[in-house]
Chain A
Amino acid sequence: MSALKGLSGSLAGFPGFALRRLVGAVVTLFAISVIIYLVFYVAPGDVAQITCGPRCSPAQVHQVAEQLRLDDPLYVRYWHFLQGVFVGQDYSTGTSVQHCGAPCLGVSYQSGQQVTQLIWAKLPVTFSLVLGAMVLWLILGVGTGVLSAWRRGRFTERALTAVTLAGTATPVFVIGLVLMIVVCGQLQLLPFPQYVPFTEDPEQWAWNLLLPWLSLALIESAKYARLTRSSMLETLAEDHVRTFRAYGVGERSIIGRHALRGAVAPVIALSANDFGSAIGGAVLSETLFGLPGLGRELVHAVTVVDLPVVVGMVLVTGFFVVLANAVADVLFAVADRRVVLS
């Protein structure tokens, strides 16, 4: 794509900017962990009882209280929690003692499983879902946006605008539900989604995920189409486009080289951001399509009030969002270096 040309070149002041942004991300993460810790472990009510779960015996609750060091001051408790994250800690569940390795986010007292391992096992599902959908929605969205900016003021644009508007207005669980009923149920074109690991059978993996990808992509691409179109139209109204028109540069060049280039930075930034929020937002599509990812695990944990799992999930998704935001900022700066200079 010729619009991407010009991303290279001198990057004066850039490493410093990237570093500052990264430090900012770490600070944000730290703040998030504090807030989450405060919200969930210092909440009113019997924390030990909530953490342990409704079916715990008084003895077990007592043990949990000890594990969480409920008698210690707040900062000691938080420090203990952080220690677990960075160096790991031991958990005693009734009779046996298990060691929870370095990024330790605690142990589920209801299933006896370590939260980190639980998340680790579910991550591939969520990643498969989000990454595949993202590729689709970028192609669909940017393509639609370019087309409607190019055919602006004509029927094509009005039609595309109407379609994308409908897309932004449809909740993902509505379109997913309808697609599943029509495509899988009545037409039987695709199987009802089931997760098949990529390592096991790549073809089945893709075939099964196609419907979830499509549903997510249809909704998300609408946003990208609108963004692409509006940034391109904004660029088209700028003075430098007038310059190139006044120099006889053709419409195709103006759209493909100049207007599209203006949309690159915002699209990159939005996709990095969306990657983060899609990891979090996968809750809906996973529940709907019955995919055993992070989101569905979280819904389960919320319904049975499995606090350590909930907290772990929130932290991990928060981690991805913060990371994605930082990457988004850096990528934006790469695409539009005026940001670094100002």
Chain B
Amino acid sequence: MSPAEADDGVLRAVGDGVLPAARNGVLPAARNGVLRAVGDDVPGAVGDGRGAGGDGLAETGDGSGPAAPGGGSLVEVTDLSVAFGDLRAVDGLSFRLERGAALGLVGESGSGKSTVASALLALHRGTGARVGGAVRVAGVDVQAASDDELRRLRGGKAAMVFQDPLSSLDPYHAVGDQIAEVYRVHTRASRRAARARAVEVLDRVGIPDAARRARSRPHEFSGGMRQRTLIAMALACRPDLLIADEPTTALDVTVQAQILDLLHTLREETGMGLLLVTHDVGVAAESVDEILVMRHGRAVEHGPVGTVLGAPRDTYTRELLGAVPRVDAPRVAEGDVGDETVLEAVGLRREFGTGKRRFAAVDDVSLTVRRGETLGVVGESGSGKTTLGRMLVGLLEPTAGTVRHEGREQTGVSPSVQMVFQDPVSSLNPRRSVGESIADPLRARGERDEGRIEGRVRELLERVGLDPDHYDRYPHEFSGGQRQRVGIARALAAEPRAIVCDEPVSALDVTTQAQVVALLGELQRELGLALVFVAHDLAVVRQVSDRVAVMRRGRIVEYGPVDEVYESPRDPYTEQLLAAVPALDPEVAARRRAARGEPATA
């Protein structure tokens, strides 16, 4: 890629409204920063990991001078390394972030991206982690800072928003008090003034009736409101930098869109810089100007978001982007769908609780799955999709309605309908070898010949892409993706006609995800399996399904061929879901955001 192209990418991104504020001159620093990063250091900044390192070293010169407020970069990381024992989580990473700019740290699990975020606030201090290199944040030399200086930096100049909004707030104190406490640490304001500030920021992040809700405790809030509360806490002291560590990973897609929009608006208004740590390329595309792709603690590619996503240069980045399922791409591999109905649900209903708390998790759901067909079931948390899946395999008795296997009514479990579970950790017994787990259905069927059992298990292991000699290994010796393969092998051992996959890839990294999805597709074609693919990720569902059922509050709101539902949704909820999916293209993302309006103030 030539410098000119890179430049063009940034300019295009700016011009098309990724950073309207920058265009309007509210954020001159941001514009300046992005342009300089591209203009001055093109070979390094847009280059590979080695280049990015050189970039950082080159910049150490002007970063080491006296840091006057407002002068210098907001964040300067030079040759940062963080090691826990023998493990180097971050290895020679350098980057800088100008005032008001936004940088996305993108990588799969184990890439060290969250460690970088923690290192910016020296959260590793005292934990036994070895930190090397130099980190300057808002003019503070984080490595050398005294405890008092650090305390002033944390929350005052740089505030962090964590992944899980429930566990990140103290369950015993009112949210307003928690924000006020943080505010008082940095401002010495009176109790009353701190309370007022808490209500003000809660109101700003869109908590309705903030004065009253400030007295609520975190568990009385929904997930989205909790994340808003954390953002409000971050805003309280008007920091120069917001560090967001997977801020939307625990949230539903519609809520995620609202939070990302909120972050965007806040940045426009306050001019603070953003460092966004995420595994989700789409989330980064929605929110940042620059992207730094990390792998094994190193930077593999660094550049403007449009360039990195539009024309990646590094092979790993290309692989990563290739694995990301697209919600707007029509399904390519059409399976050989037969006519016979393998699995059928008629008027399924399931209630939980008693008395006043009784509610229907699944309410009057009917569907059919044919031989060789994949039915996607998509919905947000609480939509009843998991309950539906468990009823289909017979793990849960329906309150009303029936499940039919090949036309026959079925109660309880049956070998002909198996399940692949979400959590690769809890779905295998840690005390038994994977071979034994896979052999379970064979033994349960009455197979006694040990030789035959082992032969069949080895065959299955090979079929799902594992080494047959791993028969005697235990689950902890496998990675998440491999364990999911073991789970698939176990399901296959029962020789099922249908498999219900309950979020089979949501716990996996995107590259692993693609491999597991591909495996399921292969097996389906080969064995003529009927698949029910339950997931919250609309893009994955589109990728694998022939038909799709959209669930909301226990009911199916839309049901039809996958391309039809995705191209021209009839139900407004489906529309809303699709509009909330982050787009990989910053241009599209900006357009979508405009279309969603301004939910942060609504």
User: Which residues of chain A have a CB within 8 Å of any CB of chain B?
Assistant: 5-6, 9, 238-240, 242-250, 253, 257-258, 261-262, 264, 336-338, 341
Residues of A within 8 A of B181 (CB): 244, 249, 253, 257
Which residue of chain A has its CB nearest to the CB of B157? A248
Which residue of chain B has its CB nearest to the CB of A12? B220
* A257 to B219 alpha-carbon distance, docked (Å): 18
Interface SS of A by simple majority: helix
Residues of B within 8 A of A240 (CB): 167-171
* A9 to B219 alpha-carbon distance, docked (Å): 14
B88 within 8 A of A: no
Q: Is A243 in contact with B154, judged by CB distance below 8 angstroms?
A: no
Q: Is A247 in contact with B159, judged by CB distance below 8 angstroms?
A: yes
Q: Name the contact of B217 in the complex, choosing from A9, A245, A249 (C-beta under 8 A).
A: A9
Give 9 nearest A-B pairs by CB, closest first: A247-B155, A248-B151, A248-B154, A239-B167, A248-B155, A247-B182, A261-B172, A240-B170, A246-B160
A and B contact pairs by CB, cutoff 8 A, 6 listed: A239-B167, A243-B169, A245-B123, A250-B151, A261-B173, A338-B219
* A262 to B170 alpha-carbon distance, docked (Å): 9
* A257 to B170 alpha-carbon distance, docked (Å): 10
Q: Name the contact of A246 in the complex, choosing from B123, B178, B219 (C-beta under 8 A).
A: B123
Given contacts A242-B123, A247-B182, contact A9 B174 (CB under 8 A): yes
Return A253 CB to nearest CB of chain B, in Å.
Answer: 7
B152 within 8 A of A: yes
Q: Is B164 in contact with A239, judged by CB distance below 8 angstroms?
A: yes
Q: Is B152 in contact with A258, judged by CB distance below 8 angstroms?
A: no
Return B277 CB to nearest CB of chain A, in Å.
Answer: 13
Residues of B within 8 A of A250 (CB): 151, 185
Q: Is B171 in contact with A247, judged by CB distance below 8 angstroms?
A: no
Which residue of chain B has its CB nearest to the CB of A241? B170
Return A63 CB to nearest CB of chain B, in Å.
Answer: 52
Q: Name the contact of A248 in the complex, choosing from B152, B173, B174, B217 (C-beta under 8 A).
A: B152
* A247 to B177 alpha-carbon distance, docked (Å): 14
- Return the CB mask of B135-177 against A: 1 if under 8 Å, else 0: 0000000000000001111111001101010011111111001
Q: Is B154 in contact with A337, judged by CB distance below 8 angstroms?
A: no
Q: Name the contact of A242 in the complex, choosing from B150, B168, B230 (C-beta under 8 A).
A: B168
* A243 to B232 alpha-carbon distance, docked (Å): 13
Which residue of chain B has its CB nearest to the CB of A7? B172
B215 within 8 A of A: yes
Return A7 CB to nearest CB of chain B, in Å.
Answer: 9
Q: Is B162 in contact with A239, judged by CB distance below 8 angstroms?
A: yes
Which residue of chain B has its CB nearest to the CB of A246? B160
Q: Is A247 in contact with B170, judged by CB distance below 8 angstroms?
A: no
* A337 to B217 alpha-carbon distance, docked (Å): 10
* A228 to B173 alpha-carbon distance, docked (Å): 19
Residues of B within 8 A of A258 (CB): 170, 172-173
| Interface contacts beyond A238-B167, A239-B164, A338-B171: sample of 6 additional A-B pairs, CB < 8 Å, sorted by A | A6-B173, A240-B168, A243-B160, A247-B154, A249-B151, A250-B151
- Return the CB mask of B182-198 against A: 1 if under 8 Å, else 0: 10011000000000000
Q: Is A244 in contact with B182, judged by CB distance below 8 angstroms?
A: yes
Residues of B within 8 A of A238 (CB): 167
* A225 to B121 alpha-carbon distance, docked (Å): 33
Residues of B within 8 A of A262 (CB): 172
Return A254 CB to nearest CB of chain B, in Å.
Answer: 10
Residues of A within 8 A of B116 (CB): none
* A261 to B154 alpha-carbon distance, docked (Å): 23
Residues of A within 8 A of B532 (CB): none
Residues of B within 8 A of A239 (CB): 162, 164, 167-168
* A247 to B161 alpha-carbon distance, docked (Å): 10
User: Which residues of chain B have a CB within 8 Å of any CB of chain A?
Assistant: 121, 123, 150-156, 159-160, 162, 164, 167-174, 177-178, 181-182, 185-186, 215, 217, 219, 230, 233
Which residue of chain A has its CB nearest to the CB of B174? A6
Given contacts A6-B174, A341-B219, contact A248 B168 (CB under 8 A): no
Return A266 CB to nearest CB of chain B, in Å.
Answer: 12
Q: Is B123 in contact with A247, judged by CB distance below 8 angstroms?
A: no
* A6 to B177 alpha-carbon distance, docked (Å): 9
* A243 to B154 alpha-carbon distance, docked (Å): 10
Which residue of chain B has its CB nearest to the CB of A16? B356
Residues of B within 8 A of A338 (CB): 171, 219
* A310 to B153 alpha-carbon distance, docked (Å): 67
Return B148 CB to nearest CB of chain A, in Å.
Answer: 9
* A257 to B184 alpha-carbon distance, docked (Å): 14
Which residue of chain A has its CB nearest to the CB of B120? A246
* A257 to B172 alpha-carbon distance, docked (Å): 10
Given contacts A239-B162, A239-B164, A242-B123, contact A247 B185 (CB under 8 A): yes
Return A51 CB to nearest CB of chain B, in Å.
Answer: 45
* A67 to B181 alpha-carbon distance, docked (Å): 69
Residues of A within 8 A of B121 (CB): 246
Residues of A within 8 A of B154 (CB): 245-248
Return B593 CB to nearest CB of chain A, in Å.
Answer: 28
Residues of A within 8 A of B172 (CB): 6, 258, 261-262, 264, 336
* A258 to B172 alpha-carbon distance, docked (Å): 8
Residues of B within 8 A of A246 (CB): 121, 123, 154-155, 159-160, 162
**Among B156, B172, B215: residue with most chain A CB under 10 A:** B172
**Among A9, A245, A246, A250: residue with most chain B CB under 10 A:** A246
Residues of B within 8 A of A257 (CB): 173, 181
* A257 to B180 alpha-carbon distance, docked (Å): 13
Return B275 CB to nearest CB of chain A, in Å.
Answer: 13
* A6 to B153 alpha-carbon distance, docked (Å): 28
* A339 to B276 alpha-carbon distance, docked (Å): 35
Q: Is A243 in contact with B168, judged by CB distance below 8 angstroms?
A: yes
Residues of B within 8 A of A264 (CB): 172
Return B118 CB to nearest CB of chain A, in Å.
Answer: 8
* A38 to B155 alpha-carbon distance, docked (Å): 65
Residues of A within 8 A of B174 (CB): 6, 9
Q: Is B150 in contact with A248, judged by CB distance below 8 angstroms?
A: yes
Q: Is B185 in contact with A249, judged by CB distance below 8 angstroms?
A: yes
Residues of B within 8 A of A253 (CB): 181, 185
* A250 to B153 alpha-carbon distance, docked (Å): 13
Residues of B within 8 A of A6 (CB): 172-174, 177, 217
Return A333 CB to nearest CB of chain B, in Å.
Answer: 13
* A336 to B173 alpha-carbon distance, docked (Å): 10
Residues of A within 8 A of B186 (CB): 248
Return A279 CB to nearest CB of chain B, in Å.
Answer: 30
* A249 to B181 alpha-carbon distance, docked (Å): 8
Return A336 CB to nearest CB of chain B, in Å.
Answer: 7
Which residue of chain B has its CB nearest to the CB of A250? B151
Q: Name the contact of A247 in the complex, choosing from B164, B173, B217, B233 (C-beta under 8 A).
A: B233
Residues of B within 8 A of A341 (CB): 219
* A62 to B335 alpha-carbon distance, docked (Å): 91
* A174 to B175 alpha-carbon distance, docked (Å): 49
Q: Is B169 in contact with A9, judged by CB distance below 8 angstroms?
A: no
Return A8 CB to nearest CB of chain B, in Å.
Answer: 10
Q: Name the contact of A261 in the complex, choosing from B168, B170, B233 (C-beta under 8 A).
A: B170
Return A23 CB to nearest CB of chain B, in Å.
Answer: 15
Given contacts A6-B174, A247-B154, A253-B181, contact A242 B233 (CB under 8 A): no
